[in-house]
Amino acid sequence: MTKSVQVLFISILLAMISATVYSGEANNLAPTVTGTKNRAIQNPVIINGTAIPAITISSPPNQGASTTQPSANFTITTSRPATICWKLNNGMSTCSAPGAKSFNATLFNLPSRNHTLEVTAADATGNITTSVRNWSVIIE
């Protein structure tokens, strides 16, 4: 299978799993954007010997930290252009346009509990990688 056929196949696959525009309010998600439905992600996958996009998640909160702040604003960056998706506590995914190198996750009204932000990045050649940030909100 040629590279152009692989890219076309992945584009069609991503279009098939795209969800309709939704308001993230119910899941404590600030933006109203097009998301994708939850799906199993192979982690990591290498196609055609190209590098996997590396994901960086800004802080605070740091991995494993506890905070009294019921909100968080993460900047997610990748080393290669990719479609970047994030989800909070296994909720709906919120995704960037294809070819992004940066995307924000703004979370608010977080309840007192453990939280998990899961980020995936899929580049045009089909490489997919995942990164996770865990932290706790403690509201007294």
83 neighbors 121 (Cβ within 8 angstroms): yes
Give the pLDDT of residue 50: 74
Confidence label for 68 from pLDDT (cuts 50, 70 and 90):
very high
Give which of 77, 74, 105 is closest to 92, Cα–Cα. Answer: 105
| CATH number attached to the domain at 3-137 | 2.60.40.10
Instruction: Give the tokens for residue 95.
Output: 């995704």
Residue 15 has pLDDT above 50, yes or no: no
Radius of gyration of the chain (CA): 16
Asked whether the beta carbons of 89 and 124 are under 8 A apart, the reply is no
Q: What is the pTM of this model?
A: 0.66
Rounded-to-integer distance, Cα 137 and Cα 116, Å: 11
69-101: pLDDT as tens digits: 999 999 999 999 999 999 999 999 999 999 999
